[in-house]
Structure 1
Amino acid sequence: MRVSIPAGLFLGLLTASAAQATEVKLGIAAPITGPNAAIGAQFKNGASQAAEDISKAGTIKGVTFSVAVGDDASDPKQGVSVANKFASDGVKMVVGDNSSGVSIPASDVYLDAGIIQVTPSSTNVKFTERGMWNTFRTCGRDDQQGAVAGTYLADHFKGKKIAFVHDKTPYGKGLADETLKALKAKGGKDVMYEGINPGEKDYSALVSKLKSANVDVVYYGGYYTEAGLILRQMRDQGLKAPMMGGDGMVDRELVSIAGPAAEGTLTTFPPDARKNPNAKEAVAAFKAKGIDPEGYTLYSYAAVQVLAKAMAETGSSYGKKLADWLHQGKPVDTVVGKISYDKKGDITQPAYIMYEWKKGADGKIDYADHELTQYGVGH
């Protein structure tokens, strides 16, 4: 069931005085529980801190944010339930969801309800390719991320045996397919293409197949949970081939699951926003709370900044008005740098960088820039 909100329930022009601020409901849709809860925490931390900072600063005259958090648990049905609840509760704008398999069906509900949606991490091409006015991202797309990964594989593993494994989700399969497409365009090929069932604990049958094929590198489309298990089981069976994957693998939980096997893993991800000069104050605010704003934390923060800028410029909280303003492509200053949008809701300067997970001086494995200038795009 989809719940629609009559236009009259939208705030429209925000004319309240600063002394009596109007509250605008901001929804955060994220996997607070389930296999990707670590990414859900990044979303919640980032968007909540942004809402708090923007409200305190009085960025939008006479307006403060009230935040509602919905747990989609990385499940499409639950994501749609969250969307319906947000719509019935009068939420005006949403930061989320994480996985494309949740964001895409949830966006249909938000469209019916007149709610604008900005995802920090859903990269499936379909999310912004359906001609809908309400879908935006602060990240790039699978075809952009796949181009960086596919080019790297073609250059560094020329003539080598490359296996592709994915988790059958719109995100994981979409990213694996786009990477394979880019590899083939550069004259490369795969020796194996396999789908796994996420949520399982034993991937030894897959690892045996990889070993039998004598693969030199495994490209994995999916999230850190399964990637970590596969990596660990590869090393347990004596398979030393490195793994490469995308942004869904970029969380320190990968190391918690894989252990030493995580070392040498390659992942594509947008530029590390913690190093952006625009993020200095926000990073300090997070660290004061004992939070490291890794991964998508600052991209979630930026999503709220994008919405706040559109509200300030239009004097409205009406989703379509905000979207129309953003579609004009005017740049918005955010903690991840300037963001501007095309007519689809995609950022005009996508950037993906290749990172390598390395052991630091403290003995801990973490991701670091790897061949930044050659394989970064955009910015």
Structure 2
Amino acid sequence: MKRTWLGLLAAVATTLVAVGPGQAQIKLGLGGPITGGSAVFGSQMKNGAEQAVEDINAAGGILGQKVQLFLGDDVSRPEQGVSVANKFAGDGVKFVVGHFNSGVSIPASDVYQENGILQITPASTNPVLTERKLTNVFRTCGRDDQQGAVGGKYIAQNFKGKKVAVIHDKTPYGKGLADEIKKNMNSAGVTEVLYEGVNVGEKDFSALVSKLRQQGIDLVVWGGLYPEGGLLVRQMRDQGVNAVLLGGDGIASAEFGAVGGPGVEGTLMTYGPDPTKRPNAAAIVKKLIDKKINPESYTLYTYAAVQILQQAMEATKTTDPKKVAEYMHSGKPFDTVIGTISYDAKGDRTDSDYVMYIWKKAADGKLIFEEMQSAP
């Protein structure tokens, strides 16, 4: 088994969800930001994976074997993601759901490929992940070039002639998404007047907000996650900048409203159709809600990833990751809580379902995001 020195030397906190003794077990890893700045999303992934494993084991497991879940905390850091990947390999894990950040999934995928581990991410959208001709990588989400096309088209239709700024967090996800939106709006005749990057973890955006105010910006394209995006909106409003913010799935969390405050109302966002509203997700949604778990964002995308692995193993009657991956690449459909999914030769979904959302205040005063039926 191949393992990098970084993985051998790093200490990774891994939690094991045990099954009964003496049983044959399928080892499944869940890699994500269980702690750190993106822990909200890591918690969603953990909830989805644990519920899926619980349901599978309660029904008898897969091919007569119970599923054993390992949790690896990558803290949203690439080097820690590689350490988690190596720890999984050392533990004999052969299937991994993860990671969340594209900047973590990409380097971790090399370790998984070297060790014959199948990886399926519910959240990493950077196209590079599946463009490197690896045979073991899949995702239940879409790609940044897909949501970038939806965002760019919306800008061209609704903000032509307006002043647009493009801001990103310099990560593979954030910059990747911002650049895809920029490319699409540029090709449709909209050129940004400001393009800048900020640092993950940055708290003070006063200098940037001053630039936005001085240039009379009407729309801010945000490529990044909710912590910085929420602070940016809050500080824009504090300084009297009323520009609309347009972000991607990285702000698809109630925490965006908590960080950004009332000023996030009117924020635009690209994201997939709300999976909690699908009839085939109703039973799982109820189970989670009964446990006081909010099934938002990547909870069901993660549950779907485990469902796909289960269905592929049962169809091939094997737990060999290589044979399972070959079946998944074949274009066969998988029925999941987020809809029917099939894969192309790269490991990408054969469909694209990104839509536009708008953040608004609900009747109870909470800030929520709602799919747009038409332009606001």
TM-score of the superposition, structure 1-length normalised? 0.93
Structure-2 separation of matches of 1:233 and 1:227: 10
Q: 1:83 aligns with which of 85, 94, 97?
A: 85
Structure-2 separation of matches of 1:282 and 1:259: 31
Equivalent in the alignment of 1:187: 189
Q: CA deviation at 1:73?
A: 0.6
Are 1:59 and 1:312, in contact at CA under 8 Å, matched by a contact in 2?
no
Asked if residue 347 in structure 1 is aligned to residue 349 in structure 2, the reply is: yes
* SS of residue in 2 equivalent to 1:349: coil
Letter in 1 for 2:314: A
Structure-1 separation of matches of 2:23 and 2:215: 64
Structure-1 separation of matches of 2:84 and 2:322: 21
Equivalent in the alignment of 1:54: 56
Letter in 1 for 2:58: K
Equivalent in the alignment of 1:241: 243
Equivalent in the alignment of 1:175: 177
Equivalent in the alignment of 1:36: 38
Q: CA deviation at 1:186?
A: 1.2
Structure-2 separation of matches of 1:252 and 1:195: 24
Question: Structure 2: which 5+ residue stretches go unaligned?
Answer: 5-20
Are 1:220 and 1:245, in contact at CA under 8 Å, matched by a contact in 2?
yes
Q: 2:73 aligns with which of 71, 74, 77?
A: 71
Equivalent in the alignment of 2:271: 269
Asked if residue 328 in structure 1 is aligned to residue 330 in structure 2, the reply is: yes
* SS of residue in 2 equivalent to 1:29: strand
Equivalent in the alignment of 1:126: 128
Question: Structure 1: which 5+ residue stretches go unaligned?
Answer: 5-18, 375-379
Q: 2:210 aligns with which of 208, 211, 222?
A: 208
Are 1:36 and 1:73, in contact at CA under 8 Å, matched by a contact in 2?
yes
* SS of residue in 1 equivalent to 2:269: strand
Structure-2 separation of matches of 1:320 and 1:199: 39
Equivalent in the alignment of 1:293: 295
The alignment of Structure 1 onto Structure 2 pairs a total of residues equal to 360
Equivalent in the alignment of 1:9: none
Equivalent in the alignment of 2:17: none
Structure-2 separation of matches of 1:103 and 1:61: 28
Letter in 2 for 1:103: S
What are the Cα deviations for residues 303-353 of structure 1, in whole angstroms up to 9, with x where unaligned?
000101111111222211110000001001000011100000000112111
* SS of residue in 2 equivalent to 1:338: strand
Asked if residue 230 in structure 1 is aligned to residue 224 in structure 2, the reply is: no
Letter in 2 for 1:272: D
Q: CA deviation at 1:59?
A: 5.5
TM-score of the superposition, structure 2-length normalised? 0.93
Q: 1:145 aligns with which of 119, 122, 147?
A: 147
Asked if residue 24 in structure 1 is aligned to residue 26 in structure 2, the reply is: yes
